[in-house]
Amino acid sequence: MEAYSNTDAERELRTAFDHAPTNAVKGEWFFITEQSGVSSQTGSYLYPDGSHFLSDSHALECIRDVVDKLEASQRQSFNKVIIRWKKSRIPLMRGRVTVETYFDESIVPRGPNHPVYELAAAAKRAFWMKYGELSENFISGLEEANIHNQTKWFGPHRRILCSKVNKMLTLATDGLSTPWAGVAELENGVECELFMELDLSINTTPQIDKWAQLLIHLGDLVADKYQIANEVKKYGAILFCSLTDDYQPMTHVILSDDQRQIEDLPFGPIALICVTLITDVEIEHYDQSGEWASNAARHALAVRQLHNR
């Protein structure tokens, strides 16, 4: 495409904004170019009191068109466009239009091979090595990552770590707290990981594989709910979900707060959440009407701890 500059865009939009609503005094629009398959556009004309016009489709179409032309021209690299219009105080005079383009590093999405993913994985492996002999192998979900290296957990890792000490085996998710691929936010995923402790004297290899796959599926639910770590921290323990008949006699899953945190992740420490499987009998006499049935969940865990002493 032939050269198309910000000045050309301003000239074209000046003509388009001649059709601004009668009572509009200015307008401001923000456009983020496509990042990992998603672009965004916000803004509108404004009334004198600063309130927004609800319908602004014509202006948005015109802005989309000039941004496309700026991108196609490739005169400069940018990922953010700010467009401002101000109505002229002189009758019959066109308003003033400015088009500003920027390259904002802070909104550049992480690529599929960003080193931060392996930094997060190393921090979690180092944590679990303090509590037992860590297996070199992972138990993984069958799903493959997409072109952005996103699994159902939105990052590249959706797998289970195995740590053994004496007759106890710990299964722990690795991936929920991995920074998401294809986004720019400086967050450790959903800011938590799950773990489950198993007695090797009563769990066979097929059973361990079964619990590992359950942990992956629980991770899918946690990834979708996003703020679950805050809920667990708030209530101490929650009755998270029911189990299918495949897991009988176990019928429910409790998620509870662990006092430990996993440190040294790229964007700060993350919560550790314990997964406990229980039967209907363990909660049948407790009130389950509250938020997340947290009272029943806490009582069930307290009774478990008494029996295990």
Give the sign of the dihedral formed by CA 15, CA 17, CA 23, CA 26. negative
Q: What is the DSSP string of 73-104?
A: HTSS--SEEEEEEE--SSTTPPPEEEEEEE--
pLDDT in tens, 10-43: 999 998 888 888 889 999 999 988 776 678 888 9
pLDDT in tens, 157-206: 999 999 999 999 999 999 999 999 988 889 999 999 999 999 999 899 99
CATH of range 6-107; options 3.30.500.20, 3.40.50.1010, 3.40.50.300, 1.10.10.10: 3.30.500.20
C-alpha separations of 51 from 26, 47, 84, 267 in Å: 11, 5, 16, 37
Domain-by-domain residue ranges, the chain?
6-107, 116-307
**Of 54 and 22, the one with more pLDDT:** 22
Confidence (pTM)? 0.76
Query: Please, which pLDDT band fits residue 213 given cuts at 50, 70 and 90?
Result: very high
**pLDDT, position 52:** 87
